[in-house]
Structure 1
Amino acid sequence: MKKKSLKLRRFVKTFVLPLIIMCFSCSQTKIDSRNIKDQNLNNNNNENVSLTNHEFVSNPVNLNIVMFVPTDNPALKDYKTRLSALFVYFQNWIHTEMMRYGYSTYLGLPVDQLTGLVKIIEIPASGTQADYPYKSAISVGKIINEIKTFKTKNPAQFSSDNHCLVLLPARTDGGNQPFYRHGKFCFAVDNSEMSVTGIPNPNSNYLGGMLHELGHGLNLPHSEAKYSEGFIHGTSLMGSGNYSFSKGQPTFLTESDAAILNRNEVFQPAKSSSTPYLKPIYSLQPRFNIDNRQQKLFVNGSYTSTLPVSDILVYMDPNVNNEGTGVNKDYNAVTWRFSPQSIGLIQGTIDLNELNFKNNTPYELKIKLLLQNGHITSDVFPFQYNNGKLTTRLDSSLTFSNASY
């Protein structure tokens, strides 16, 4: 009897337990502590923090995370531990995506020094849940003003002067709260399913929606996968990734997304002496050469800028699928990243085979200068597909100046 029991224990230890651990690990956040520690050795400003067997990175300037609590709708009791693990999961996912493009930076998460968890600032609202409906014209200014008032009285609670994720407890009165981006503020909902164990969720897109809106709050515009990327990496987070991420389906960041995040204020491992997001005085002199036979669009030319430029981003945005609004919402824009060839020169090639819409489709080609301080300029140039061929009414050489957002 003892021999059988011993053999059973050996079998469990040798085969069953490792299998359980492997399956459990696949569903958990795994940040390579060696990478974090190596980064911290090179940068004394980073803090390495333990969180229920996970580690997360805190930068000199971090994302502000706020739980905004109406008077008649208290926050869920477990939200701090549950959401801490979820934010570590998000940090790891974003970092893993950025590593594919050669970037080593992390989204900075603030530390609660008392608990060791990701810090979430709980702010009591002045009104009831009905006072903060989904409609942005009613709620956004009201919530932001209350947060700013709280910040004035409690400045040490906040890290970034720019980026803030605002969560509201799920309404209990049948209404909806804000769930969108407003500038560098982004809004999302908290409920019991907002957790690492809530992925995948076939019945809700809230988890992916939070990450998608956070992307907007971190300066990311809409964009979808190139034609070839869809087969390899799945759905772009900033396209329809809120749906795919929630359902546990392949979701990814584009190279332009990763480049933008790499220059974001809350991704910097060392304190910068320059002010983030300062606008430059700049000009663009682009040249375009269309080769429909080779399916290439050559983008050349030059630019000037009073502040250093890190990357040149080009978005090919088809003006279709506007959700009946008549407004181009950019969800299906396909993007490329180019490095300046030398100071002031632009040179890149757009593979037209990567576009998902042709036939007779109007396009907006957007050239964006990504500055080293994280600011992004944007200039728009009209193109048109006619019977499957790309055309433009533009002269071969154009000059656009000082348009930015």
Structure 2
Amino acid sequence: MTKINIIYLLLLLMLASCSKDSVTSLEEEAGPDEVDKLVDNEWKDNPYKLNVVYFVPNDMVPVVDYETRIEEIVFDAQEFFAVNLEREGFGRTSFGLDIKSDGKLNLITVIGKQGKSAYPYSGGGGVIVNELNAYFNEHPDEKKSEHTLVLLPSTSGDPLNPGGVPFYGYGKYCFALDYEYQDVQYLGQDNNLGNLATKWIGGLVHELGHGLNAPHNKEWNSVQSTLGTALMGTGNGTYGKRPTFITAAHAAIFANSQTFSTDERSDWYSKVTTNITNLRGKVENNKIIISGNFTSDGMVAAINVWHDPYPAGAANQDYDAPSFTSLPIGQDSLYIECPLSDFYKLDGQYQLRIGFIHENGSRVTRAYEYEFVNNVPTIEVINTKDLLDRSAWSIIYADSEEDNGPASGMLDGDLSTFWHTEWKSKLPGHPHEFVLDMGTLTTVKGFAFENRSNLNGAIKDFEMFKSDDGENWTSLGRYSLAQMQNIQYVNLISVESFRYMKLVTNNSHGDFNYAHLAELNGYHN
């Protein structure tokens, strides 16, 4: 017998000895924990699942082995969210995923209607959203929630320098890219592939945070040495490389996001009106303390505040804004302590934002400006007055209104609705005016004004008039408003009693022809 035949015979004997009974089972080889991970998923029964879409321009093909790599990335992110929300007291919860019967992720692959040039970084996201909305309309069973993660193959042509496609949050959509070496096995490695994994996988999880409702923020100064970098700060540069975490404020947002819910409800993200009825800020024991009362027609689950250092009117990015969270007290009160030791700078201008997070996932935010003087915050500027009852108030005349900017928006308690003069089809200039009817003779010490978040065109200089009959007018004086979101209180020259008030603008901030105002109220003490 030749040497080759002997080897062949030995191989046959080895194969024959590997009978079904003697082969090591998957459970024995991998262990029960690994097997369960393959065929089960803790959050597979969440009634709402994150839609994970692999979007391929019609002149491209998917990156090799994309389904396995993307699955591992989102499973890893699921675990990251669960660990962080459990630490912050929300239980071991994470976003749901659509899991197939074999335990694999149901990754929806969609071929675009156009080539890659139609989906660039700038502007491409909106094009993709339109196509995916049409796709989900045609395939409604595939849409499992309002939240969608979209990945596109990199179009840069260089797998070690990927890019060229949308990579950002876009409402409840979020975009990331894929390339050949995007694999969780490289996370934490001290080499080029490891650095790329942190940048692009960390970036994916960061943008996913946006798609699950979270804005930017910064970790507290006091926890940076232990917990590391906030995911929604610059965590896309540390994820998998150095400690990275989800802050308490963002854990509260995620815990009240649709895909984290274990309950079905029909009112996800439906509009909720929440108003602050009084607000107080003070500095005590080296802490900023925010307290007050609110009314809401929805159930408030948590209240967040951001302290964002930035010059008034500048672009607001939140990357340097420490955030704090608290449960409401009862159904109508708030109290949040913000230690100054958690700030990074105690000088300059700040914007304070108070965000009400509702059980149906919707959010209502109010913004105020304050500043540090000699390392002490002038937080008392946010303190509110007791405002008049507006239930009988109405706007009976406005010289100009845009279709989506009726003057009635000034009286509804919602900063997202506002009076805006025309600017689309025609652009009338100042003066602009409106007439308020308070319904009856009313004693007024002054009026309270609130701007919307976009301050371009906010009213600057104006004059107010009073009337008892709506026809004969007497001047109440000339006044000015600052370019800021705080409630601004304008005291009249003297306390007056009247029924009608007419406001006439002289100009606006930025010298725009248009004008706008989000909220109008009054006070008498």
TM-score, normalising length from structure 1?
A: 0.81
Are residues 1:64 and 2:55 paired?
A: no
CA–CA distance in structure 2, aligned partners of residues 298 and 32 of structure 1: 47
Letter in 1 for 2:331: I
Give the one of 228, 233, 241 matched to 2:235: 241
After the TM superposition, which residues 6-405 of structure 1 pair with which residues of structure 2 at under 5 Å, given as runs?
50-52=36-38, 55-58=41-44, 59-104=46-91, 105-113=93-101, 115-136=102-123, 139-160=124-145, 162-173=146-157, 176-200=164-188, 201-203=194-196, 205-246=199-240, 248-272=241-265, 274-291=266-283, 294-319=285-310, 326-359=314-347, 361-392=348-379, 394=381, 396-398=383-385, 401-403=413-415
* Cα distance in 2, alignment partners of residues 52 and 147 from structure 1: 29
**Contact 1:288/1:297 (<8 A) preserved:** no
Give the helix-richer structure, 1 or 2.
1
Q: Residue 269 of structure 2 contacts residue 362 of structure 2 at CA under 8 Å; is this kept in 1?
A: yes
2:345 match: secondary structure: coil
2:254 counterpart SS class: helix
CA RMSD of aligned residues (A): 2.6
1:41 match: none
Question: Which string of whole-angstrom CA distances, capped at 9 and with x for unpartnered residues, describes residues 164-202 of structure 1?
Answer: 001001115476100001111000001123222020222
Q: Which residue number corresponds to residue 19 of structure 1?
A: none
Measure how far apart 1:270 and its partner are.
2.7
* SS of the residue 1:213 aligns to: helix
Q: CA deviation at 1:50?
A: 4.7
CA distance in 2, matches of 1:230, 1:172: 35
Structure 2: distance between partners of 1:219 and 1:227: 24
C-alpha distance after superposition, 1:289-348 (max 9, x if no partner): 3326x322121110000111111111111116x9xx941211111111111111201122
- The answer as to whether partners of 2:64 and 2:180 remain within 8 angstroms in 1 is no
The CA distance in 2 between the partners of 1:101 and 1:328, in whole Å, is 27
Offset of 1:80 from its aligned partner? 1.0
Whether the 8 Å contact between 1:68 and 1:168 is mirrored in structure 2 is yes
Distance (whole Å) between structure 2 residues aligned to residue 232 and residue 79 of structure 1: 35
Q: Which has the larger radius of gyration?
A: 2
1:250 and 1:271 map into 2 onto residues whose CA distance is 34
Q: Is the 8 A contact 1:56 1:91 kept in 2?
A: no
Q: 1:50 to 1:84 in 2, by over 3 A?
A: farther
| Identical residues among aligned pairs (%) | 29
Q: Tell me, what secondary structure is at the counterpart of 1:212?
A: helix
State whether residues 154 and 178 of structure 2, in contact with CA within 8 Å, keep that contact through their aligned partners in structure 1: yes
8 Å CA contact retained: 2:217, 2:230: yes
Q: Which moved more, 1:99-108 or 1:181-190?
A: 99-108
Give the Cα–Cα distance (whole angstroms) in 1 for the partners of residues 364 and 358 of structure 2.
Answer: 8
Q: Secondary structure at the match of 2:238?
A: helix
Unaligned runs of 5+ in 2: 1-29, 189-193, 388-411, 417-452, 454-525
The equivalent of 1:15 in structure 2 is none
Change (3 A) 1:347 1:69: same
Separation in 1 of the partners of 2:172 and 2:248?
Answer: 21
Amino acid of the structure 1 residue aligned with 2:275: S
SS in 2 for 1:82: helix
1:56–1:88 CA contact under 8 A, matched in 2? no
Provide the rounded CA distance (Å) in 2 between the counterparts of 1:335 and 1:285: 22
Partner Cα separation in structure 2 for residue 303 and residue 240 of structure 1: 33
C-alpha contact 1:317 1:334 (8 A) present in aligned 2: yes
> 1:347/1:172 Cα in 2 relative to 1: closer, same or farther (>3 Å)?
closer
Matched AA of 1:316 = H
- For the structure 1 residues 392 and 259, does the alpha-carbon distance in structure 2 shift closer, same or farther, using more than 3 Å as the test? closer
**Could you tell me whether the CA contact under 8 Å between 1:50 and 1:56 is conserved in 2?**
no
Q: Give the structure 1 partner of residue 439 of structure 2.
A: none
In the TM superposition, what is the alpha-carbon distance from 1:388 to its structure 2 partner? 1.5
Provide the secondary structure at the position in 2 that maps to 1:245. Answer: coil
Query: Unaligned stretches of 5+ in structure 1?
Result: 1-24, 26-30, 34-48
Relative to 1, partners in 2 of residues 1:79 and 1:51: Cα closer, same or farther, differing over 3 Å? farther
Q: When the two structures are aligned, how many residues end up with a matched partner? A: 351
Normalization by structure 2: what TM-score? 0.63
